[in-house]
Chains A and B, each alone.
Chain A
Amino acid sequence: MFSISLTRDDWSLHRKGAIDQARHMQKVKEAIKQNLADIVSEQSIITSDGKKLVRVPIRTLEEYRFRFDPNSYPQVGQGEGGSKVGDVIGRVGPGQGPGQGKQAGDQPGIDYYEAELTVEELGQLIFEDLELPNLEEKRLRELESEAVRFTDIRKHGPFANLDKKRTIRENIKRNAKRGNPRFGELKNDDLRFKTWERDVKRESNAVVIAMMDVSGSMGTFEKYISRAFYYWMVRFLRTRYDHVEIRFIAHHTEAKEVTEEEFFTRGESGGTRASSAYQLALQMIEERFDPESWNIYPFHFSDGDNWPSDNDLCRRLAEQLIERSNQFGYGEIRQGRYAYQSTLMHTLERINSPKLVTVTISDKTDVYPALRRFFGPEAREVARV
């Protein structure tokens, strides 16, 4: 019988831990998906630059067991000598209640699991089964690329494209055949021209027109919800489609096209005339996005508090918009207000078209369902009717 021994084996194929770790990560993802409604409207994400890591608490992965109330009893610690009653030995972050904080912490009662994800990973989970509904193969648009590729040499062409080096070489070659290798007595036969090819790309085109009410009646909450929705919509479109154009329109009584940055940061005031936005959207379509070759998706977010005198015009313009669009999405943010106070929703609901999709949002957690209603599998069912 041996009493001691020492070996070293090959463990390179060993990966049991990695397999169970993968299963754990899968459970983390499932848990996150169950909480997407809460996570999607998380302020720290919407206001981040998109590179941030997001910490998501996951209570469903808690390993529940019988345990003592972790915060009702003092713990034993060890000092380095000379400690007294009343000494402060550490701090916990403000707002960390019992059972909160990060997992591997060494503070009493703080032990739930937090997953760390990038906004991108989170986006993948959110966008998994979302797509632009009712996307049609429109007449293909020919996109000329800016860059021209010179690919061949010919004897004829515009003088602007003359290949001087080759021309001189041809001339010297011809002279050399006659025993006089030098440049001179240029003839047409010596001339060489570069020719080029145009790169032509074909694709189905889509444009999303994002309209947002920025009038005085839009409070902090309403603006926040619209931005949260559009934040994820823009991320979704950019992640999923290479060539979707997104145009931004902000309106109060007047509408104007704004840059993406302005759209997400600017606040205005004044009354509301939604027709101004629809008018501008129609004009945009007229000038730049022919419905024959474009899939068009207007979205509008508002608190619905439209000037009553404007409603008839709104409906007519909305009908025209819907006619030219694949889907028209309207989101109304209504917090602690009554439905009858909204005039815009009433106006739009009188339009009878399966292409009109409306949602009402009264809580932060409604943003995710709104995304799903416009872009989820359910939306595609509706649009097909």
Chain B
Amino acid sequence: MSKMTPAQLAQLEARIAEVWEVGTRLGLRPFPTHFEVVPATVMYEIGAYGMPGRFSHWTHGKAYQVQKTLYDYGLSKIYELVINANPCHAFLLDTNTVLQNTLVVAHVMAHSDFFANNAYFARTSRRMLDTVSLNAERIERYEFEHGEAEVERLLDAVLSIQEHVDLYASEEEDEPADTPPARQPKPYDDLWRYDRSAERRSPESPPRRSRRRPAEPSRDLLGFIRDHSPILDDWERDVVSIVRAEMQYFIPQIQTKVLNEGWASYWHARIMRELDLSADEHLEFARLHAAILQPSPRRLNPYYLGYQMLLDIERRHGERHLFEVREVENDISLIRNYLTRELVDELDLYLYERQGDELVIVDKDWEAVRERLIGELGGNQTPVILVEDGDYEGNLELYLRHSWDGRKLDLDWAEKTMEHIYRLWGRRVWLETRADDESRLVLSYHPREGHKQHR
């Protein structure tokens, strides 16, 4: 594979203008978009970090290695990388043909339109490219000041719960004005613990409302730890804050993976058909399009599902309705509102599980498929963990509750994650979940006493 020549670059530039003209005529309203042609190494690096310029951490290095290996063995080719920003920033692979990159440009134009118009992206920062670079610089400074090992341990802990942020949490805490100021931990707090629990039981003293107890159970575990951890230094709180802000930025992309990829695939197909392509190019395009939309027996291809659902919506409700879908839906609501029995049959969707050494289809009922899809998409693959109390037992212990939806936690992993949370909280960590629909199960962790299970 050779790099694009200057002549090919010029050709691509003309194509980009064409794509933009066609897309705009058909109704797309993207952000201004900047394309950058990069070598493969840079492409898979950006793919591994999610964005160029993000902070250093070995997990990024691990993702980078996976990407690089897949690429080196020709198993995967990142076709497109586009950053939600205004102006939008997209990367094209130096070794692609002009036609491949034309298709990517058409695909990117629809993503850019989606970022600009979908309701779930309305609150995302459009300056994140700059922000992540500044964040990376701060973390680098902390590495210099506190040592790389110390920062790495902190990031290991923070990243283990990075998914537990609340997109809609406001920056200001909604606490009643008359709450007493936060109690600072004191060395002999343990001694008073029994006294105080006795006090709480007595009818004349109403339970204390500590600032460390959220008014409502909160999903914003990272935010709560940042604001209320009894042990974190200011720089550590800043690191928590950085991870939280970057994750808040990425969440809408997780929530709309199927719809966004479906939207981009729908539009690259339509735009490419409007372009004046040679016969060879038509063939190359058809091959690429088929490869992108290849269904997979074991894993859901979001491009395929989203594309097919949008075609179905267009058939049933007309093209104008598509623009409404791209504006108001996310993956969950898309599936709930538009996945039909006919479509499940047509797409041959099924549920499978492992039986012995075989993977066997166990269900084809469309409603069962729909419910599992909803469980797998839009961030629902992450269990909902609620902060119940940051002053549990009056002893500044952290009490978390897994919001039960019938799915069991991986307890082994939960215990390891609680060790990470302990690093951030410094007091005993509790996690309430269920062993099954009936029986409550409470886990606790403190390094002195290890992991405990209370039933």
Binary interface encoding of chain B residues 415-428 relative to chain A, with 1 for a CB under 8 A from any of its CBs, else 0: 01100100000000
A63 proximal to B (CB < 8 A): yes
Residues of A near B78 (CB, < 8 A) are: none
Shortest Cβ distance from A106 into chain B, in angstroms? 5
Residues of A near B385 (CB, < 8 A) are: 66
Residues of B near A86 (CB, < 8 A) are: 360-361
- Could you say which of A19, A23, A94, A99 has the most chain B C-beta atoms within 10 Å of its C-beta? A23
B41 proximal to A (CB < 8 A): yes
Q: Which of A157-206 contact B (CB under 8 A)?
A: none
B94 proximal to A (CB < 8 A): yes
Residues of A near B420 (CB, < 8 A) are: 64
Say whether A23 contacts B58, CB under 8 Å.
yes
* Among B34, B66, B416, contact of A5 (Cβ-Cβ < 8 Å): B34
B16 proximal to A (CB < 8 A): yes
Say whether A81 contacts B16, CB under 8 Å.
no
* Among B42, B65, B358, contact of A24 (Cβ-Cβ < 8 Å): B65
Say whether B62 contacts A89, CB under 8 Å.
no
Residues of A near B20 (CB, < 8 A) are: 3-4
Say whether B348 contacts A76, CB under 8 Å.
no
Nearest-CB residue, chain A, relative to B296: A78
B354 proximal to A (CB < 8 A): yes
Say whether B304 contacts A11, CB under 8 Å.
no
A17 proximal to B (CB < 8 A): yes
* Among B70, B161, B300, B375, contact of A78 (Cβ-Cβ < 8 Å): B300
Nearest-CB residue, chain A, relative to B87: A2
Binary interface encoding of chain A residues 1-18 relative to chain B, with 1 for a CB under 8 A from any of its CBs, else 0: 111111111010010111
Nearest-CB residue, chain A, relative to B10: A6
- Could you say which of B35, B39, B298, B407 has the most chain A C-beta atoms within 10 Å of its C-beta? B298
Q: Which of A28-73 contact B (CB under 8 A)?
A: 61-73
A336 proximal to B (CB < 8 A): no
Residues of A near B382 (CB, < 8 A) are: 65-67
A134–B292 alpha-carbon span in the complex (Å) = 65
Say whether B32 contacts A79, CB under 8 Å.
no
In the complex, how many residues of chain B place their beta carbon closer than 8 angstroms to a beta carbon of chain A?
88
Shortest Cβ distance from B326 into chain A, in angstroms? 20
A250–B207 alpha-carbon span in the complex (Å) = 79
Binary interface encoding of chain A residues 67-102 relative to chain B, with 1 for a CB under 8 A from any of its CBs, else 0: 111111111111111111111111111101001000
A69–B348 alpha-carbon span in the complex (Å) = 26
* Given A77-B297, A78-B296, A104-B70, A11-B42 contact (CB < 8 Å): yes
Nearest-CB residue, chain B, relative to A93: B357
A318–B159 alpha-carbon span in the complex (Å) = 59
Residues of B near A20 (CB, < 8 A) are: 56-58, 60-61, 64
B311 proximal to A (CB < 8 A): no
Say whether B36 contacts A9, CB under 8 Å.
yes
A236 proximal to B (CB < 8 A): no
Residues of B near A68 (CB, < 8 A) are: 381, 383, 407-410
A16–B94 alpha-carbon span in the complex (Å) = 19
Q: 13 new A-B pairs (CB below 8 Å) besides A20-B58, A73-B375, A99-B412?
A: A6-B34, A17-B61, A20-B61, A25-B61, A64-B420, A65-B163, A66-B409, A75-B353, A80-B295, A82-B348, A87-B361, A91-B359, A103-B66
Residues of A within 8 A of B (CB): 1-9, 11, 14, 16-25, 27, 61-94, 96, 99, 103-104, 106-109, 113
